[in-house]
Structure 1
Amino acid sequence: MIGALNLSPSCVKTLSAVEALPSSSNQHELNGVSELKNILGLDRKTFNVKFSLRGKDGYVESRVTWYDARENHVSRSEYRLYFQTNTVMSMAREGSTLVFGIGRDNQFWAELIL
C-alpha cells in the first residue's frame, strides 16, 4: 500500500489525445510543460519513474527519458518525456491528469488521475 503521496516539487499535466491514446499516436511521449522543466532541468536524462493510479494500491516502475526533441535547433526547444509502455499509462485517456513530483522516498512519481 502506497498511501497518500506527498510530492514536492510537483506539477500537473492534462493529457491530450496524442499523449494518451495509441490510436492517435504510438510515440509514448508527453509534451514537456514549463513546470516539468523546472523539476527535471534542461539536460537529457534517463531514469526510473514510479507510475501509480489514483485511489489504487501499488505502482509500476518504468524507465523514462527526458530530452529536447529540438536539441540540434539553434533557437527552438521542445521538451518531451518518453515513457515505456506500462499498465498505468495504458489506462490513460484524453483529459486524464498526471501529477509528477518527487516523493518522500526521493523517487520520481507520476500519478494518473482518470
Structure 2
Amino acid sequence: MSIRPINFRASCVKTLSAVEAEPTKSNQHEFNGVAQLKNLFGSEKTHMTVSFSTRGLDDICLSGMTWYEARESHATRSEYRFYFQSNAVMERAREGDNIIIGFDLSNNIHCELITQGASGYTATTGWVVQTP
C-alpha cells in the first residue's frame, strides 16, 4: 500500500525531532496535540487503529492510537496528545524524517514516514497542514 500514494482528504506533516523519533532520546510514543492535530481529531477522546507505512516501501504496520486530553482534570489548561503503540515503522524513524498524519478518502487514518532524501521530502518547521 505504501508503494502507491495515499490520497489524504485531510492531513498535516512535521519534521521529527530527536525526542519524537529516537528511542535513545525518549520512549514517549506520542506527539503533542497541537492545533493542526486537534483540527483533525477534535476534542473527544478517540481510540483508532492506524496504518503506519514508509513512503516507497511495501511495509504496513497496524497499530493502536489514542487521541486524548492529558490534562482533563485542569479546568484552565489543555494539552492533547496523539499516543501510538510501538511499531516497526516508527522504530526506523530518525530525527529529520517527516511524518504525515491524516485521513484518507475512506476516513481511515494513516501515519506515513518520509525519510530524508525520499521522493516528496521537504523539511518543515512545526506541524504544517496539507491540502489535497
Which residue number in structure 2 is paired with residue 62 of structure 1?
63
Q: Offset of 1:80 from its aligned partner?
A: 1.0
Instruction: Provide the secondary structure at the position in 1 that maps to 2:14.
Output: strand
Note the residue ranges of structure 1 that are not aligned, 5 or more in a row: none
Give the structure-1-normalised TM-score.
0.92
Which residue number in structure 2 is paired with residue 89 of structure 1?
90
Give the structure-2-normalised TM-score.
0.80
Note the residue ranges of structure 2 that are not aligned, 5 or more in a row: 116-132
Q: How many residues align?
A: 114
Which residue number in structure 1 is paired with residue 114 of structure 2?
113
Q: Offset of 1:62 from its aligned partner?
A: 0.4
Q: Offset of 1:81 from its aligned partner?
A: 0.9
CA–CA separation in structure 2 for the residues paired with 1:59 and 1:105: 17
User: Alpha carbon RMSD of aligned pairs, Å?
Assistant: 1.3
Asked whether the 8 Å contact 1:7–1:100 carries over to 2, the reply is no
Percent identical among aligned pairs is: 53
1:30-84 alpha-carbon deviations (Å, 9 max, x no partner): 1122111101001111110000101112311100111111111111111111111
Q: Offset of 1:104 from its aligned partner?
A: 2.8
1:93-112 alpha-carbon deviations (Å, 9 max, x no partner): 11211111111332100100
Asked whether the 8 Å contact 1:13–1:33 carries over to 2, the reply is no
Which residue number in structure 1 is paired with residue 29 of structure 2?
28
CA–CA separation in structure 1 for the residues paired with 2:100 and 2:64: 17
